[in-house]
Amino acid sequence: MECKNQQVKDFVQQSADLLKPDQIVWIDGSEEQLEALRQQAMATGEIVKLDQEKLPNCYYHRTAVNDVARVEARTFICSDTKEHAGATNNWMAPADAYAMTDEIMRGKMAGRTMYVIPFSMGVVGSPFSKIGIEITDSIYVVLNMAIMTRTGEKVLEALGDSNDFVRGQHAKCDIDEEKRYILQFPEDNAIRSCNSGYGGNVLLGKKCFALRIASYQGRKEGWMAEHMLILGIENPQGETKYVAAAFPSACGKTNLAMLIPPEGYRAKGYKVWTVGDDIAWIRLGPDGRFYAQNPEAGFFGVAPGTNEKSNPNALASTREGTIFTNVVLKDDGTVWWEGLDKNPPTGQLNWKGEPWDPATGEKGAHPNSRFTAPARNCPCISPEWENPNGVPLSAIIFGGRRAKTAPLVYQSRDWDHGVFVGSIMASETTAAATGAVGVVRRDPMAMLPFCGYHMADYWQHWLDMGKLIKTQPKIFNVNWFRLDDEGHFIWPGFGDNMRVLQWIMARCFDEVGAVDTPIGYVPNAEDINLEGLDFSIDTLKDILTVDKDLWREEVAGIHEFYAKFGDRIPAELKAELAKLEANLEK
């Protein structure tokens, strides 16, 4: 494959000068080349071919045991000043960051091959799309990028002689935790990642580019990069309306993106279509509405808990062309993870490659084990998911995991209030996650670890974008996780969340009223359809309540959180907080 773009060639040469690989291989996007790389990775044991009848084109991979998750403490935004990175990001001066990682990465590809992956985030050639070049010494990364993004020659063609591409450099080095760094250089359009081989740290198109770098680009260029799923809701008349939704980790984002409506809804002809499960790039459309596109081409989903009941669409997506990482490898060439079914296999290898006995209670799959599955496999993938112009958004949904405070659903009064609702997003830790129950972690717009610049400036950007649109999407907040006094979830969740989506749609099109409360508009219980569900209206009323005492505590927590951002907090958000306080005193 020939590259005519001089800037790309220079970048590849500079990378080779630093990393000193034995050879350089350009990824052209062809199946032949990918197959040759698979053969090579199988020969070294980097990947294992799974049973080709049960799981055609599926492979298995284990990471090092010290390298199983994103490392937020070692992730830095290397903007020109610390102030520009803001209080919620780690910061390193760009010159120091380059010098430090020059030292760490120098010569580390000696004896290895350096792969050059031209990739497009978004449909190649779409006005939403952005191009990157990732350098890596990992075939696993190449194979994952080939699923998660559009790669190869067609991307270089689309780039032409433009210099507008993100420069990503990944080197496995020695998988040394002490020298592991994930660095974003927003002003340089550049990313460096070293000493890791795990997904979120090394698939540079995903969190590093499509969120951290892209959020910065979006502010500069007047669009938005958000940590959001996108789904379409088709009604019995065959009309589809789209929503984007942001939730912190472990709140069921992939499940909501692939929701199967309850029986009664399906009988009437309702359908839910998946456009994306993790990231949304949002632009102003020619008709004054927001349009969203999923910049990815695959799902990098958490395996444990995924099963025929919780998410049959996700499971179906993994039956072909998928890479499984850190799950249980069975000797029949299939895989298993906790929650796949109730029959943990015996005599198999756990995620570390050790013989594993489920009777010991030890987990077989790592809790953050993953599948990398092509989006086109998903049975409910939207016919519009590759529309180069994106899909128009009717609503934006924020959410979190709150035991008592937030009602099942509420609607913000207007755009600015909605931005406020996003800015105070929070989840409470569960016992399983940390040992400490009920600790509130603020995660504005689910972007805390992913915003590439100062969070308060990011809120200002949201407010500014609201001023540009004629038809603003309505903004909602949901909470599927209210607990009863015994600590059980009250709302059934999963497919039944369709009932809440239906109310949200009805509000978007002025088809239903609501109760005005201190925090926003809450449904009249009668307006949430409970047909076919064993759930009393009194219990529903219970989870729609807004407890003023709890919200006064919440306000104190918000003040404390906002204090981190000092003077940069937009006046509109301060006014919203004051309004909430006043409403609670009424």
Contact positions toward ligand OXD, by CB under 6 A? 200, 249, 278
Query: Reduced to 3 states, what is the DSSP secondary structure of residue 429?
Result: coil
Q: Which residue is nearest to Mn ion (CB)?
A: 278
Calpha distance 519→499 (Å, rounded):
21
* CA-closest candidate to residue 278, choices 260, 255, 294, 292: 294
Q: Pick between residue 38 and residue 180 the one whose CB is nearest to ligand OXD.
A: 180
Least Å distance, CB 24 to Mn ion, is: 32
Residue with tokens 């695959």: 298
**Binding partner of residue 285 among Mn ion, ligand OXD, none, CB cut-off 5 to 8 Å per kind:** none
DSSP for 344-409, written as a single string: --SSEE-TTSSEE-GGG---SS-TT-EEEEEGGG-TTB-TTTT-TT-EEEEEEEEE---SSSS-SE
Give the tokens for residue 27: 């990824």
428 binds Mn ion (CB under 5 A): no
Give the tokens for residue 266: 């399906």
Spatial contact of 75 and 182, defined as CB atoms under 8 Å apart: yes
Q: Pick between residue 451 and residue 522 the one whose CB is nearest to ligand OXD.
A: 451
Least Å distance, CB 204 to ligand OXD, is: 14
Reported residue count of the chain is 586
Q: Pick between residue 297 and residue 544 the one whose CB is nearest to ligand OXD.
A: 297
Catalytic residue ranges: 251
Q: Pick between residue 276 and residue 344 the one whose CB is nearest to ligand OXD.
A: 276
Q: Pick between residue 207 and residue 219 the one whose CB is nearest to ligand OXD.
A: 207
Least Å distance, CB 151 to ligand OXD, is: 20
Least Å distance, CB 581 to ligand OXD, is: 32
Looking at residues 273 to 332 of the shown chain, list those that interact with Mn ion (rule: CB under 5 A).
278
Least Å distance, CB 278 to Mn ion, is: 4
Give every strand in the sheet of 355-356, ordered side by side.
335-336, 328-329, 348-349, 355-356
Residues facing 49 on adjacent strands: 59
Give the tokens for residue 113: 């091959």
Least Å distance, CB 69 to ligand OXD, is: 8
**Binding partner of residue 186 among ligand OXD, Mn ion, none, CB cut-off 5 to 8 Å per kind:** none
Q: Pick between residue 249 and residue 583 the one whose CB is nearest to ligand OXD.
A: 249
226 binds Mn ion (CB under 5 A): no
CB-CB neighbours of 99 under 10 Å: 11
134 binds Mn ion (CB under 5 A): no
Calpha distance 15→7 (Å, rounded):
12
Q: Pick between residue 211 and residue 315 the one whose CB is nearest to ligand OXD.
A: 211
Least Å distance, CB 136 to Mn ion, is: 21
Cα dist. 51→59, 61, 331, 370, 563 in Å? 9, 14, 10, 18, 55
Per rule CB under 5 A, count of chain residues that contact Mn ion: 1
**Binding partner of residue 443 among ligand OXD, Mn ion, none, CB cut-off 5 to 8 Å per kind:** none
Q: Pick between residue 278 and residue 296 the one whose CB is nearest to Mn ion.
A: 278
To 5 degrees, how large is the angle CA 355–CA 358–CA 360? Answer: 95
Contact letters for Mn ion, residues 261-280 (x by CB under 5 A): -----------------x--
Spatial contact of 409 and 503, defined as CB atoms under 8 Å apart: yes
Q: Burial, 93: exposed, middle or buried (Cβ in 10 Å; 0-12, 13-18, 19+)?
A: middle
443 binds Mn ion (CB under 5 A): no
Least Å distance, CB 227 to Mn ion, is: 6
Give the tokens for residue 446: 């689910």
Cβ-Cβ contacts under 8 Å for 455 (sequence gap 6 or more): 86, 87, 88, 444, 447, 448, 565
> Where does this chain bind Mn ion (CB under 5 A)?
278
